[in-house]
Amino acid sequence: MQQLTQCTATQLLTLYRSGAASPVQATEAVLQRIAELNPRLNAFCLVDEEAALQSARDSEARWQAHRNKGDDVLPLDGVPVSIKDLILTRGWPTLRGSKTVNPDQPWEVDAPVTARLREAGAVLLGKTTTPEFGCKGETNSLLTGISRNPWNLEHTPGGSSGGASAAVSAGLGPLAVGTDGAGSVRIPAAFCGNVGFKPSFGRVPAYPLSPFGSVAHLGPHGMTVEDVALMMNSISQPDARDWTSLPFDGIDYMELLDFGVRGLRVAYSPTLGYANNVHPEIAAATAQAAQHLHHLGAFVEQVDPGIDDPLDITTGLWFAGAYQVWQTLSPAQQALTDPDFAAEAALGAKLDVNALHQLNQRRGVLGSHLRQFMQRFDVILTPSTAVPAFKARPAGHSPMTSEAMLGWTPFSYPFNLSQQPAISLPCGLTSEGLPMGVQLVGPMFGDALVLQAAQALQACYPLQRPSLT
């Protein structure tokens, strides 16, 4: 049972196919592990054991019919998956990490990603923790408290998909759904030693759209690139509710994984030209990743894309979004908010229409420049974050500034502004035993290419899991 919690989604499907394990066994093992570890990790804010077990029993019946009569099974049949608590899920409250949301109301709608996972046969376990409205790169809130990193409980799992990433890392379900508005899938993936993928904007349909606008992406967490590709095949299916979504491309992301990197043009950019405080062990690990890609046959050139740090563009647009949400709250609700969110909204209130227009114009210049740069290269290689996971802290621990919010993750937010696909994958541990991540960024719409390159690079590293028991 314990071993089943350490299986990837792909491994579980292989076990189900042979009859060596069943969805019920895997789900029971994961639920038992959640009961044991979640009090320390605080990765889940809601677990629905009854619904998960019923879903697992239904899946087990489908697998039995498949073995007996050759009936078809679903792409994720019986795989345990968690949903970030920003994403609508039928029958469960979506509180968005906030005391301002009333749980006592009808919850009758699945977001597109949730609906696609149900249709694919996944076993939905529950909701994972997020900071209020996903407002920061660490996971703490007045509603759910502090979430913790499985590699060291004194440290943060990152955010805002910190609960999702901690769950996958700790064996509390092999797949999780996260959101990424400035790095919120990739940051916790790097901090927790997982794979986290931010697809091209619109590749995974969203509903309702994020109040933080077109920087906000939906993406998968998994222990392997293969698992992430498997999940992408389901969650990239179309949904008419998202008018910003891309036309369905019908790509089988699994089919293209093993093409390797021979002949690909890689721009190795250790600082993006402006990140001057990269942890030396992360810098060395990224340089080693560049060597791995070279030895695998890629043409690797150390070159920066020629952009200035767009931190003020990112946080300006983000603070404006926070203020938009703030204005929808009553004074009583505003009094219940996280001090970090309230501080972001206050900064957003200072931006006038002209300032917002200028930020969007500068964003357009950045996006155009990066799209032109990608005509010369297939992927960009950078660190995922400038630092390993730092100490977990309560909400409101520091004054809110752009630098405090995102200055330590200078490699993530540019590619939310440009909407390009980007993935973080683990590349070893620091001398203190904390995970490090490297990032691969592709051209817009080059999601399959990013996964292909990541699969090749992943083979250079052993799969490591935390020793948390």
Specify whether the CB–CB gap between 442 and 373 falls below 8 A. no
The whole-angstrom separation of Cα 122 and Cα 55 is: 8
Distance (Å, whole) CA 169 – CA 167 = 6
Q: How far is CA 121 from CA 78, 232, 392, in A?
A: 6, 14, 35
- The CA distance from 117 to 361, in Å, is 37
What b/e string do you get for 22-60 counting C-beta neighbours within 10 Å, with b at 16 or more?
bbbbbbbbbbebbeebbeebbbbbbbbeeebbebbeebb
Which of 165, 152, 83 lies closest to 425, judged by CA? 165
Catalytic residue, from 22, 55, 161, 184: name it.
184
**CA distances from residue 456 to 79, 265, 351 in whole angstroms, order as listed:** 25, 14, 44
Distance separating alpha carbons of residues 290 and 184, to the nearest angstrom: 24
DSSP single-letter state for residue 203: S
The residue from 160, 234, 245, 424 that is catalytic is 160
From the list 84, 127, 136, 198, the catalytic residue is 84
d(C-alpha 108, C-alpha 237), whole Å: 21
Q: How far apart are CA 405 and CA 9, in angstroms?
A: 33
127 is catalytic: no
Q: Is residue 184 annotated as a catalytic residue, yes or no?
A: yes
Long-range contacts of 295-300 (CB under 8 A, 24+ apart): 296/260, 296/261, 296/262, 296/456, 296/457, 296/460, 297/260, 297/261, 297/262, 297/263, 298/261, 298/262, 298/263, 298/264, 298/265, 298/266, 298/453, 299/263, 299/264, 299/265, 299/266, 300/266, 300/268, 300/381
Mind telling me the catalytic residues? Answer: 84, 160, 184
